[in-house]
Amino acid sequence: MTLAADRLQSDRISLLRDYVRVQYETLRPLSPELQSLRARARARVEQRLSCLDDRPTLRPASRHDMAGAFGAGVPTLGCDRVELMIVDLLATGAHLQFSVSSRDARIFAGALRGYHHEPDRLYVTGLSTILDAAADRLHSLSNGSGGRFYVNDDFVERAWDRSVLLRLALAIDEPRPCCGQ
């Protein structure tokens, strides 16, 4: 990477760290169990951000293991409660809305309906297995034209027609290895 690209990557990671810290501190109060879950989610995001320091792009190269992946029907993604809490931490609006850019398939959080100008985008690619898998599926179904999606407790749906992109199957809490290893 060039010096300018290194600086931009460092700035993005700092912005994400600050955003997650503020979200962690200001989200609604939770029960002790859910607060513990939120703390684990924040720690997992911090671990993934550390992995991003050495990577040239925020877009992961690998696909995610899903039952029925991208074939007929709706694939199912196994996830744990920490991954669901990560989505909550990364969202910028109340509806857990995320978008995939058409240009480079990066995922960003945003609360607008329609086009988000660059300053309104908070790129979160590589920080959530749920978001990465949903973005892969949406990008595949839209032939690279991008779009918005919403994350619910049991599924992820495409915004424009409310079709289900992924089903989420709650699994035992197991952390995703850092950097996809």
Residue 130: how many other CB atoms lie within 10 Å: 22
pLDDT at 12: 75
Q: Is the dihedral of CA 159, 163, 169, 175 positive or negative?
A: negative
Residue 150: how many other CB atoms lie within 10 Å: 18
CA angle in degrees (0–180, nearest 5) for 142-146-148: 105
Q: Dihedral through CA 178, CA 122, CA 131, CA 83, nearest 10?
A: 60
> In the chain, which stretches have pLDDT less than 70?
1-9, 53-72, 94, 111-115, 117, 172-181
pLDDT at 111: 65
| Nearest alpha-carbon partner for 134 in 171, 94, 167, 169 | 167
Q: Do the beta carbons of residue 28 and residue 156 sit within 8 Å? A: no
C-alpha 66/C-alpha 129 separation (Å) is 11
pLDDT at 45: 92
At 85 the three-state DSSP class reads: helix
pLDDT at 166: 93
CA distances from 56 to 64, 104, 123, 146 (A): 20, 14, 14, 22
| pTM of the complete model beyond 0.75 | yes
Task: Give the H or E element holding residue 35.
Answer: helix 32-52
pLDDT at 102: 79
pLDDT at 156: 95
pLDDT at 27: 74
Mean residue pLDDT of the chain comes to 77
pLDDT at 51: 82
